[in-house]
Amino acid sequence: MRRRTLSLSTGEVEVDIIRSARRTVALYVRPGGTLLIRAPWYVPVRMLMNFAAEKSRWIERQVNRLKNVTPPGEPLAVSHGTTVPFMGRELTVTVRGGGRRTASHTEGNLILTTPGSSSTPGELVRMTEGWYLREAKAYLASRTRQLAAEHSKLLPSPAAINVRKMKRRWGTCHNSGAIWLNRELIKKDPLLIDYVIIHELCHLVHHNHGREYYELLGRIMPDYRERRKRLQQ
């Protein structure tokens, strides 16, 4: 993936082009203010950049809105007594020695048990990262199926639901009908998680961010703008 730049009246914006078997060209401004162009294999770069230049006013507005938004996935620091985010609240880390290596949570605590009486910071981070992924896979997949079923008259069910840690996006929808969700969502309020899931489910119907897409999103989630704003804070 080669990076390019697009000149706008407000300055230059970095551009990434990702090609696939898709049939249409789509523009996305990501948190931090970079532009992603998703395109078919056969469309020349020159045409893609010209297309983006034609949408420069829209791109400028989105860049201005997202340039100060921190992409999901900040470095994690874990030690006894620190707090970590989970489902919109904070859990206090409790480190225990003895027994086998496990990570579990209660209403207000993340409990990390390690063999022996001491543990390294790196070990605690790896345990916490693994715990986040397990929780995210279980909750996000279940919640996606539940929301798709609740809105089955308007939304199809995804072909697959996948979870992984992403650097730049909260979620993505593939032409195959599969949905990918960012593991970092498990740190957010459930209302914001629902927004991302519904956002991606709507892309199973409309593979762009056009008028019809937002009409569908607004019909299902009338307060999506407020939720999106909270997610970007």
Query: Tens digits of per-residue pLDDT, 54-90?
Result: 999 999 888 877 765 555 555 677 888 999 999 999 9
Please give the Cα distance from 81 to 124 (Å, whole number). Answer: 12
Please give the Cα distance from 65 to 47 (Å, whole number). Answer: 26
The backbone torsions φ and ψ at residue 155, rounded to the nearest 5 degrees and listed phi first, read: -125, 140
3-class SS shares of the chain: helix, strand, coil, % to 5 = 40, 25, 35
| Bridge partners, residue 172, by sequence | 180
pTM: 0.69
Cα–Cα nearest to 106, from 127, 125, 126, 89 = 89
Please give the Cα distance from 223 to 225 (Å, whole number). Answer: 6
The token duo for 109 is: 């605590």
pLDDT for the residue numbered 196 = 96
pLDDT for the residue numbered 198 = 97
| Bridge partners, residue 131, by sequence | none
Q: Are strands 3-8 and 109-114 parallel, antiparallel or unpaired?
A: unpaired
The backbone torsions φ and ψ at residue 81, rounded to the nearest 5 degrees and listed phi first, read: 95, -15
CA atoms within 13 A on the CB side of 98: 1
How far from the centroid of its chain's Cα atoms is residue 112's Cα?
Answer: 26
Which residues fall within 8 angstroms of residue 140, CB to CB, at 6 or more apart? 161, 163, 181, 185, 186, 193, 197
CATH entry, 139-232, from 3.40.50.300, 3.30.2010.10, 1.20.1070.10, 1.10.150.120: 3.30.2010.10
Please give the Cα distance from 19 to 14 (Å, whole number). Answer: 17
Query: Is the distance from CB of 201 to CB of 148 less than 8 angstroms?
Result: yes
* Residues forming CATH 3.30.2010.10 domain(s) in the chain: 139-232
Query: Tens digits of per-residue pLDDT, 191-208?
Result: 999 999 999 999 999 988
The backbone torsions φ and ψ at residue 17, rounded to the nearest 5 degrees and listed phi first, read: -115, 125
For each successive 10 residues of the chain (233 residues), what is the average pLDDT? 73 82 86 82 91 91 70 69 92 88 92 81 88 96 97 95 87 89 94 96 90 94 92 75
The token duo for 53 is: 């230049």
